Amino acid sequence: MKKYIILLLVLIACLSVKAQQKPQYTQYIFNGFLLNPALAGIENYIDLKLGYRNQWQGLDGAPVTSFISINAPLGKEFLYGNANSFGGQGNNPLNRSYKQNYMAAEPHHGVGLQVANDKAGPFSRTDFSASYAYHLGLAAQINLAVGVSAGFSQIKTDGSEIITDVKMDNALSNIDESQIAPDLGAGVWLYGPTFFAGVSAQQLLSQKLRFSDEASVNEGKLEPHFFATAGYKIFLGEEIAVMPSVMAKYVTSVPVSVDLNCKLAFSDKFWIGGGYRNKDSFSGMAGFNIGYFLNLSYSYDFTTSELNTVSNGSHEIVIGFLLNNRYKASCAQRQF
């Protein structure tokens, strides 16, 4: 039975070469920098995150994703009123008082790096990218950031993991082991103390891929991915806020994917939430801010697609480090 499952995954992966190819994340609201380079340098500290996602657990060859990302503002001065500061050490951006004192960004630059590895059956890809963003204030409490990213993707196939009923298949035996394709992305991010909205694109350089010397499985193509996100913060009390958000993703020849999330945050200590991805899954999430240096979040996806008969759901964990956190912020100040 295992060989049929592996073969099925190979076929799915081959089809995805013309469909969705970038890794999927449930906790996009926790690390928007993964999807939009305009968020580079949005906070007043160096934001380092490590993530791991085990999708469709229990299914042999199912996607497994890991990533590391880091971004930071450029500049040496962190004064009150500066784009990279806020009023007082430990100020909680989840209370109403922070909204009253919020100041729009002074012009500043941000840079970032990220590496992501995604493996599904015999196929794996590793993405490397560097990002640059520019932030400025448009009004008293409205900021705009624009960003670009550039890098490359290394795509590998391992023919030894492809199992079929045919002992010798020329098409499979001639599969290329590794291919490298350049990558380019861009994004825009509008944000304030109680809202955010952005659009971004990844994999803008459409690249052709060759998997075999055989014409029947000769060619695939990396397709552009487009994202639109928005969210709003609603105060339920001085230290409690609810934050609904939405993300729409479009890839050529694939139905639009829509994520609906809602996060309930208690002061700057912890939060819980839930989400829904159309025709795919429901999710539950929780996160903790531990001191001024560390935060941790976890999500579990309950599969609702036809894969729910063989899948035990998807796990995702993200660990964040707030480096050079001179203002002792215990949670994000300008994103949520």
In tens, the pLDDT along 21-32 reads: 678 888 888 889
Structure pTM? 0.83
Q: Is residue 48 part of a domain?
A: yes
Q: Is residue 189 part of a domain?
A: yes
CA distance 309 to 299: 20
Q: Is residue 50 part of a domain?
A: yes
> Which residue, among 50, 170, 176, 167, has the nearest Cα to 117 in the 3D structure?
50
Is 247 a residue whose pLDDT tops 50? yes
Q: Domain holding 164: CATH number?
A: 2.40.160.40
Q: Is residue 279 part of a domain?
A: yes
Q: Is residue 167 part of a domain?
A: yes
CA distance 50 to 296: 10
Residue located via tokens 């020849």? 253
Question: Are the beta carbons of 115 and 67 closer than 8 angstroms?
Answer: yes
How many domains does the chain divide into? Answer: 1
Q: Is residue 11 part of a domain?
A: no
Among 130-139, 172-181, 207-216, the range scoring the smallest mean pLDDT is 207-216
State whether the Cα torsion 254-245-90-102 is positive or negative.
positive
Q: Is residue 333 part of a domain?
A: no
pLDDT-derived band at 211 (thresholds 50, 70, 90) equals low
pLDDT-derived band at 252 (thresholds 50, 70, 90) equals confident
Domain boundaries, position 109: 22-82+91-210+220-323
State whether the Cα torsion 57-308-262-272 is positive or negative.
negative
- In this prediction, residue 125 carries a pLDDT of 87
- Between β-strands 240-251 and 257-266, what pairing exists: parallel, antiparallel or unpaired? antiparallel
Q: Is residue 330 part of a domain?
A: no
Higher pLDDT: 205 or 296? It is 296
| E strand intervals along the chain | 46-54, 64-73, 108-120, 123-139, 142-157, 178-191, 195-202, 208-210, 219-221, 225-232, 234-235, 240-251, 257-266, 270-277, 281-290, 294-303, 314-323
Higher pLDDT: 38 or 253? It is 38
What's the rounded mean pLDDT across residues 33-59?
Answer: 88
- Neighbouring CB atoms inside 10 A of 220's CB total 20
